[in-house]
Amino acid sequence: MSLTHYMRAMLGIIGRELWRFITQRERFISALVRPLVWLFVFAAGFRAALGLAIAPPYDTYILYEVYITPGLCGMIQLFNGMQSSLSMVYDREMGSMRLLMVAPLPRWFLLLSKLLAGTGVSILQVYVFLLIAYMYEIEAPWQGYFLLLPALMLTGLMLGALGLLLSSFIKQLENFAGVMNFVIFPMFFMSTALYPLWKLKESSKILYALASYNPFSQAVELIRFALYGQLNHYALAYTLVTFILFSSIAIVGYSPSKGMMARKGIG
Amino acid sequence: MSNTVALSIENLRFAYQGKLALDDVSFTINASDFTFLLGPNGAGKSTLFALITRLYDCREGKIALNGFDIKQQTRKALATLGIVFQQTTLDVDLTVQQNLHYHAALYGMSRKLAKSRIQEELERLAMFERRSEKVAKLNGGHKRRVEIARALLHKPSILLLDEPTVGLDVQSRVAIVEYIHYLTAHEQLAVLWASHLLDEIYSTDQVLVMHKGKIKAKGHREQIVAMTQTKDINTAFAQLTQGELS
């Protein structure tokens, strides 16, 4: 198996995923509607209720819409990560997952390529969302839009790996509604996506602790700082470590002798 | 018939959730052999396929494809294998050729080679004209043809087909059965065809009758009929599977 083989396979997997996403217009629109509703409706309504002090990476007072934007970028990736990984197992994608698993390449490589493909799709969504936000006058420094790319890559991989991990181990989560209630919503609400950590600390110590250790919070912070041209080292390390952890467990979950493949029926 | 062993299964045992799904299964398939794996639903056919393709890990027993052990030399073994799964694994949102190019990429084929191989395989199955159509627009028989073309794209020496004709009309079934037999006769392809449709068996085929995870009988159709002292393969199969014909 040559390096060219690996490259061709990876490009094939990524290309297929991107093409599917572009051609599925409903999926593209629904992926954008969710964060836009949060931005235009929720954030606009909350603007008056929530006062934000100046805190890094911001060097001035900001509107709530500005604060929430990186969190919504994270939200896009969170939904995308869960959706692509879970549909892979439970929906009609099960067949194509089988096809992928029998390709003559190491399984870890195939799963990583699949993760990269999902991340690519989520990055596209985030940039389209940011473009619309820009037109709504939520502007970040121009260099931030470039620095954001590697950050989104890592956060997308981490959230995709989490989805993959869940899909390989949790048998009960047969549908997306279950994942919404037990994973996406708790992760999203117990994070810094909607309110800063210090605000949470004022209301509940437990919530504060949960939000601090929530990998989604760190992903959002990595995105937030990158968008303003800064690097949050702690968030970077935290996201990197959780990505390695989640993807390692997911790979074990997809190995032929353990996890999903050994426990689920063949059909 | 060639004597080159394409697929060898030795003393395979596999338990699934405490239940024995395969019990001491052994057989070999040579190049140019068309082997018909016959068994009622739940006999263990799909489990056997999952083990050969390494979706499951075989803990007891040995599987070798063209001499490559599936556990030790997984990638080399899988590279010689073509598979048509029971349920369709085509992406219905993509066109025929996009589906095939995706498969070619997974097997490391260059764009140029993939293009010529796709044309070759689709032309043989009279599907080349429809290469730019979305799979969603194809009927069941045509989808199956595309899946067969895809499985052959990387020129495997072993082809596994899991109930490939289920749900198809008679004409499509006959065409597919004939085409695969043609490949064994003319291109030295070794075929393992799982089914419970007895009328698909040719007199030259090797037949393996599987029931409750065990191989109950091996041989040509006439040998099995003689062995069971029955009048035809239908009754022989019914007897071997204790009336559980499905």
- What residue ranges define each of the domains in chain B, with the CATH number in brackets? 1-80+157-218+237-246 (3.40.50.300), 90-155 (no CATH)
Cβ contacts of A94 on chain B, cutoff 8 Å: 87
b vs e for A66-87, b when ≥16 Cβ sit within 10 Å of the residue's Cβ?
Answer: bbbbbbbbbbbbbbbbbbbbbb
pLDDT of residue A4: 92
**pLDDT of res. A132:** 94
pLDDT tens readout for residues A84-139: 776 665 544 566 778 888 999 998 899 899 899 999 999 999 999 999 999 988 88
Residues in chain A: 267
- Dist CA A193 CA A187 (whole Å): 10
Indicate whether B1 pLDDT > 70: no
Spell out which residues of chain B touch residue A100, defining contact as CB-CB under 8 Å.
106
Residue of B nearest to A3 (CA): B108
Out of A12, A23, A267, name the one closest to residue B102 (CB). Answer: A12
Residue scoring higher pLDDT (B127 or A182): B127
- Give the pLDDT of residue B33: 93
Token duo for residue A6: 């690996």
Please check the confidence at residue A175 and state whether its pLDDT lies above 80.
no
User: Does the CB of A51 have a partner CB in chain B at under 8 Å?
Assistant: no
Output the CA torsion A195→A197→A203→A204 (10° steps).
130
A39-43, A156-160, A252-256: least confidently modelled range: A252-256
Query: pLDDT value at position A101?
Result: 85
- Cβ B108–A256 below 8 Å, yes or no? no
Pairwise pLDDT comparison (A88 vs A38), residue with the higher score: A38
Once rounded to an integer, what is the mean pLDDT over residues A145-159? 96
pLDDT tens digits, residue range B188-226? 999 999 988 888 888 888 999 999 899 999 999 889 999
Our CA-based measurement puts residue A84 at a distance from the nearest CA of chain B, in whole angstroms, of 15
| In the predicted structure, residue A262 carries a pLDDT above the cut 70 | no
Task: Kindly state the tokens that stand for A132.
Answer: 């619309």
Using a CB–CB cutoff of 8 Å, tell me whether A4 touches chain B: yes
- Let me know: does B33 contact B190? Beta carbons within 8 Å: yes
Nearest to A105 among B75, B86, B110 (CB): B75
Range A46-52 contact pairs with CB under 8 angstroms and sequence separation of 24 or more: A50/A195, A50/A199, A52/A196
- Chain A residues inside the 8 Å CB shell of B16: 265
User: A12 and B106 in contact by Cβ < 8 A?
Assistant: yes
Distance from the Cα of B230 to chain A's closest Cα (Å) equals 33
Top-confidence range, A11-20, A25-34, A174-183, B151-160: B151-160
Provide the number of CB pairs (under 8 Å) joining chain A to chain B: 99
Q: Cα angle at A115 between B148 and A25, to 5 degrees?
A: 75
Give me the phi and psi of B128, to 5 degrees please: -65, -35
Region B142-160: mean pLDDT is 94
Closest chain A CA to residue B44: A266
> What is the pLDDT at residue A265?
45
Q: Give the Cα separation of B152 and B141 in Å (integer).
A: 17
Put simply, the answer to whether A2 touches B108 (Cβ < 8 Å) is yes
Please identify among residues 2-31 of chain B the ones whose CB lies closer than 8 Å to any CB of chain A: 16-17
> Which residues from B are below 8 Å from A5, CB to CB?
107-108
- The beta-carbon neighbor of A256 closest among B57, B75, B91 is B57
Q: What is the DSSP letter of B225?
A: H
pLDDT digits (tens, 9 = 90+) for A190-241: 999 888 887 788 888 888 899 999 999 999 999 999 999 989 999 999 999 9
Q: Is the pLDDT of residue B79 over 90?
A: yes
Task: Tell me what the mean pLDDT of segment A234-260 comes to.
Answer: 86
Percent of chain B whose predicted confidence (pLDDT) is above 90: 60
Contact call for B108 and A19, based on CB within 8 A: no
Per-residue pLDDT, B46: 86
Half-sphere exposure of A27 (CA within 13 A, CB side): 17
Encode pLDDT of B84-96 as tens digits: 988 888 888 889 9
- Residue A11: which pLDDT band, with cuts at 50, 70 and 90? very high
Query: How many C-beta neighbours within 10 Å does residue B13 have?
Result: 15
Residue A88 is predicted with a pLDDT of: 63
- Angle of helix A64-90 relative to helix A25-37, nearest 10 degrees, comes to 140
Interface contact A100, partner B, CB < 8 A:
yes
pLDDT beyond 90 at B67: yes
Mean pLDDT, rounded, for B76-80: 94
Q: Is B246 a residue whose pLDDT tops 50?
A: no
pLDDT band for B243, please (50, 70, 90 cuts): low
Q: What percent of chain A has pLDDT over 90?
A: 45
- Give the pLDDT confidence score for residue A151 in this predicted structure: 97
Q: What angle (nearest 5°) sits at the alpha carbon of residue A94, between those of residues B64 and B126?
A: 75
pLDDT at A245: 96
Cα-Cα-Cα-Cα torsion A107, A110, A116, A121, nearest 10 degrees, comes to -130
A220 close to B (CB below 8 A):
no
Answer whether B109 touches A (CB < 8 Å): yes
Task: Tell me what pLDDT residue A149 has.
Answer: 97
pLDDT of A174 reads 57
Residues of B in contact with A257 (CB under 8 A): 57, 59
Q: Per-residue confidence at B20, pLDDT binned at 50, 70, 90?
A: confident
The DSSP element (H or E) to which B58 belongs, if any, is none
Average pLDDT over residues B86-115: 92
Q: Which of A30, A50, A54 lies closest to A42, judged by CA?
A: A50
A128 has a chain B CB within 8 A of its CB:
no
Q: Is the pLDDT of residue A172 over 60?
A: no
Q: A266 and B105 in contact by Cβ < 8 A?
A: no
| A24–chain B Cβ distance below 8 A for any pair | yes
Q: Is the pLDDT higher at A40 or at A238? A: A238
B contacts of A6 (beta carbons < 8 Å): 108
- The per-residue pLDDT for A266 is 41
Query: Is B9's pLDDT higher than 90?
Result: yes
Residue B121, H or E segment: helix B111-124
pTM of the model as a whole = 0.86
Mean pLDDT taken over chain A: 85
CB-CB neighbors (< 8 A) of A264 in chain B:
none
Distance between CA atoms of B119 and B189, rounded to whole angstroms? 20
Q: Is A105 in the B-facing interface, judged by CB distances under 8 Å?
A: yes
Mean per-residue pLDDT for B57-83? 92
In this prediction, residues B169-197 reach a mean pLDDT of 91
The three state secondary structure string of chain A is CCHHHHHHHHHHHHHHHHHHHHHCHHHHHHHHHHHHHHHHHHHHHHCCCCCCCCCCCCCCCCCHHHHHHHHHHHHHHHHHHHHHHHHHHHCCHHHHHHHHHCCCCCHHHHHHHHHHHHHHHHHHHHHHHHHHHHHCCCCCCHHHHHHHHHHHHHHHHHHHHHHHHHHHHCCCCCCHHHHHHHHHHHHHHCCCCCCCHHHHHHHCHHHHHHHHHCHHHHHHHHHHHHHCCCCCHHHHHHHHHHHHHHHHHHHHHCCCCCHHHHHCCCC
